[in-house]
Structure 1
């Protein structure tokens, strides 16, 4: 039984593989004490874009600088995409492994391969074996492959001198019975050592690993606290206990628990790996966990965005991560815009006060209410914002389908008409709003563009503020006052996005926007108290 810890490799997706020397040295001692056989110290790669720490490249010089405890085998991982890309495979291998295994601190090389890369990347096995390296192969995203496909992969693997053939539950979607099924299919032709690498979307990483062991798998992966891409992996601190029991040998967990307290728990609080309902849904629907990880690290994505993108990827497919796909998934309206209401009926030649969700509305409530009663602008509130007396609000505006679904009962109970792209909403949402007074104003999302039509608008993002500004502009209002747009810290992605939206709007419209409560945005500002 080989217990392999790949914290510095898989965990590096959270901290750009930038672990301090102090952490690595204490980690190595803890692994040796806990009965871990192999440590995969990181990736080995020729790609160099953006800063990444030493474990993104894991050179021999770096490994030689570390005090590797006796009896601990060192491994590195190579992505098959680098072996089957534009550069000839031999050239890549010679650059990544310039010396033979007897001159290198690396003993094990694992190749992570998608199914479509498998046959081409397998050719590297013979070269690495001839150089003296032990070689493992990790088959990714195998859970949704047919029996015929998996058996064919096993046939291919049988022709090469692999030390271990791994299968990875890349999407975290497998159940224990699925694990057994994959093993039985691989065993039709592959009679060498099998390994498993699990992800914890469904909180089954440990259970799936133990099922695999019971089915004869002898190579198992884990990471400290489960630190790994997406929700993470089987946890070393748990699997080490199980493996020690299977071996019938005691293990010393004190150094491991010490580094968890000192380093890994604080990092987990900072970076947030571990399963949650979003990763659970991603595992359930076979969505690549990097979508969830990217959205959770980006404050522009709130709960409604996360759920909407998951629903989009569930239907459209999200097995391979793509930033472009993620951006498209956030823009929910891709059909031709539809609408039957013209905002000119409500806003033409009127001053409009737009109320955001920031604390500035509640903080300056009395002054805002006094201004509204005296000057009677058209008052529009974003979503279900209730910072002032509801009787002073003329309209509410919303366009995010998931946010609307979450707020639908409140919208139905609120007295104001709702401006929304009603005829473009999902049918179930239309049904729930059927008794609500609706102003159906269509929306079309097109990057870097505002346009203002009679019954619909084009906006650069499905943010409700974009939709609101466009509706008011289409309505030929006299001017826009805004309150409750306090802003975010300068490095917050939401601030960057909002600044871009306002810049684009200024380029496309001559309608004046003035903030009358404090804001960090570059806008003309007046004080509500002087109005």
Structure 2
């Protein structure tokens, strides 16, 4: 344990790091309650937000954190106030001194800001370092946050520590940006930085693998004295070490008493409801991202995009694991959804089964189970060709003729279930990965190919072109290409009106309906989708 425990500082950066979820737009009354809670809980420094010259789209006051904004707040005297600037704004075309003089027009003695932190990628660090001298001359305490250091070699990290040693930095931070570190790696990074840097150090952890607090406490054991945290872990991606836990540990280390009541109150009234709405915090996706060194923004973007199903996200992680995902790029993310690229291949013609036949397509919604008796009676009397999506099994197996599935990750997850199900499986067999084919080696497969092309449906005899790899689109394409005479749908319940998945599906169904070969879509169980609907009970005679 570090001997000088009293020098440990807890820096809460909720309003800065958490602002990625609400555009840095925190109610003033909430901020004042938060500040009172921070003081009572023993926090030393509050980072109230960013300072920036970039103004694109609406962002709240904590995206700019001006002196006038801070002066409008009730900041307890015991708290020091910090703001952060991005190093990228210091190393662009505008001279560093010009940027700083605009962002910090007065000296620290005339400003409510005590601490300025500069967040830098490794390639920005050397050119941004002169900002330290400029800010120190004006009386500010200066911290530098090195991002994604865990992915760098010992030689690179030691070189960075040498550059840092040339400047009067008050705290040299390193951030576990990918959330991929464990306590042993934390100690290793600290030892590398200590090669040349002898001043105070800080750590900013991410909680991808549930190790944010453990890594922070390990850093304390190794002499790190500036510790970042956020309330409920609120921060980009999986979030950070949680302030409400860290202050308890630090109070124990420093042998001081703290009052947690105001903090727990503000968590109950504001932060927990917002967390329920925005869903920050670790989960299996973030865990995998941390494990494989994938930038957490990929996960955050996919979780907030209705186009990405569970299978899509897992497949994207697998793609990024192989191709590399340390730096977030939107075009890289888009490419992860292209499971079927190039010319589609297939050897089975769905007209062999569907031509001139009525088809009943069973979705995965609860409507199938809720209206099972009526559906089974209709099937027994009218003898439609019954197709079930994936492993839907809410009616008697003997009434289901075929199953359809196309998503590689979903197929792999369901392979044991498919092995037990008696129906032949319509799937793009000749285009599936080897591990999926191996898992389905004992299954009868009807090989109908596909390829993905944005906003397009095209129905071929042995393959189709689809706008997405969603199984509903694949099923519709096979049935349409098979020249079925009629299509009934059951179990396509849909989502609530404000759920973006509902609008996304309506868009796809409208695109399908606009095709010349499209069949009329007729739901016979309750649906929220914008398709024609009749009652299965009204079809009974």
- TM-score greater than 0.5 by the shorter chain: yes
**1:224-243 correspondence runs (5 A):** 224-243=231-250
Q: Name the residue aligned to 1:43.
A: 50
Report the alpha carbon displacement of residue 202 of structure 1 after superposing the two structures with TM. Answer: 1.9
Partner Cα distance (1:205, 1:374) in 2:
61
Q: Name the residue aligned to 1:4.
A: 11
What 5-or-longer segments of structure 1 have no aligned partner? none
Off by >4 Å, runs of 4+ in structure 1:
none
Residue 227 of structure 2 aligns to a residue whose secondary structure is: strand
Report the alpha carbon displacement of residue 438 of structure 1 after superposing the two structures with TM. Answer: 0.6
Which of 522, 526, 529 matches 2:530? 522
Q: Name the residue aligned to 1:170.
A: 177
Q: 1:115 to 1:335 in 2, by over 3 A?
A: farther
Report the alpha carbon displacement of residue 461 of structure 1 after superposing the two structures with TM. Answer: 0.8
Partner Cα distance (1:416, 1:283) in 2:
39
Report the alpha carbon displacement of residue 372 of structure 1 after superposing the two structures with TM. Answer: 2.8
What's the C-alpha RMSD, in Å, of the aligned pairs? 2.1
**1:253-402 correspondence runs (5 A):** 253-402=260-409
Report the alpha carbon displacement of residue 76 of structure 1 after superposing the two structures with TM. Answer: 0.7
Partner Cα distance (1:214, 1:426) in 2:
47
**1:125-140 correspondence runs (5 A):** 125-140=132-147
Partner Cα distance (2:476, 2:235) in 1:
42
Partner Cα distance (2:515, 2:103) in 1:
52
Residue 508 of structure 1 aligns to a residue whose secondary structure is: coil
Q: Name the residue aligned to 1:111.
A: 118
* Deviation readout 1:331-357 (Å, 9 max, x if unpaired): 322354322111121122333222212
Report the alpha carbon displacement of residue 142 of structure 1 after superposing the two structures with TM. Answer: 0.9
The question of whether the paired residues in 1 share the 8 Å contact of 2:480 and 2:517 is answered with no
Partner Cα distance (1:261, 1:371) in 2:
52
Q: How many positions carry a matched residue from both structures?
A: 531
Partner Cα distance (2:409, 2:336) in 1:
13
**1:65-104 correspondence runs (5 A):** 65-104=72-111
Partner Cα distance (2:104, 2:514) in 1:
54
**1:478-489 correspondence runs (5 A):** 478-489=485-496
Q: Name the residue aligned to 1:64.
A: 71
Partner Cα distance (1:363, 1:257) in 2:
43
Partner Cα distance (1:265, 1:241) in 2:
19
Q: 1:98 to 1:492 in 2, by over 3 A?
A: same
The question of whether the paired residues in 1 share the 8 Å contact of 2:149 and 2:175 is answered with yes
Q: 1:381 to 1:86 in 2, by over 3 A?
A: farther
* Deviation readout 1:109-128 (Å, 9 max, x if unpaired): 11111112222322333333
Report the alpha carbon displacement of residue 439 of structure 1 after superposing the two structures with TM. Answer: 0.3
Which of 448, 455, 473 matches 1:448? 455
* 2:481 counterpart of 1:467: no
Report the alpha carbon displacement of residue 25 of structure 1 after superposing the two structures with TM. Answer: 1.0
Report the alpha carbon displacement of residue 464 of structure 1 after superposing the two structures with TM. Answer: 0.4
* Deviation readout 1:185-223 (Å, 9 max, x if unpaired): 112222222111111222221221122122221211111
Q: Which moved more, 1:489-498 or 1:91-100?
A: 91-100
Report the alpha carbon displacement of residue 170 of structure 1 after superposing the two structures with TM. Answer: 0.8
Q: 1:227 to 1:511 in 2, by over 3 A?
A: closer
Partner Cα distance (2:529, 2:239) in 1:
38
* Deviation readout 1:119-162 (Å, 9 max, x if unpaired): 23223333333333222111111111001111121222223332
Q: Name the residue aligned to 2:25.
A: 18
Partner Cα distance (2:220, 2:438) in 1:
51
Q: Name the residue aligned to 1:494.
A: 501
Report the alpha carbon displacement of residue 493 of structure 1 after superposing the two structures with TM. Answer: 1.7
**1:121-270 correspondence runs (5 A):** 121-270=128-277
Partner Cα distance (1:337, 1:291) in 2:
28
The question of whether the paired residues in 1 share the 8 Å contact of 2:108 and 2:114 is answered with yes
Q: Name the residue aligned to 2:3.
A: none
The question of whether the paired residues in 1 share the 8 Å contact of 2:388 and 2:402 is answered with yes
The question of whether the paired residues in 2 share the 8 Å contact of 1:136 and 1:162 is answered with yes
* Deviation readout 1:395-431 (Å, 9 max, x if unpaired): 1100112211222122111111100111222222211
The question of whether the paired residues in 2 share the 8 Å contact of 1:514 and 1:526 is answered with no
Q: Which moved more, 1:295-304 or 1:65-74?
A: 295-304
Q: Name the residue aligned to 2:444.
A: 437
Q: Which moved more, 1:386-395 or 1:102-111?
A: 386-395
* Deviation readout 1:256-285 (Å, 9 max, x if unpaired): 233233333333333333322222221111
What 5-or-longer segments of structure 2 have no aligned partner? 1-7
Partner Cα distance (1:373, 1:250) in 2:
73
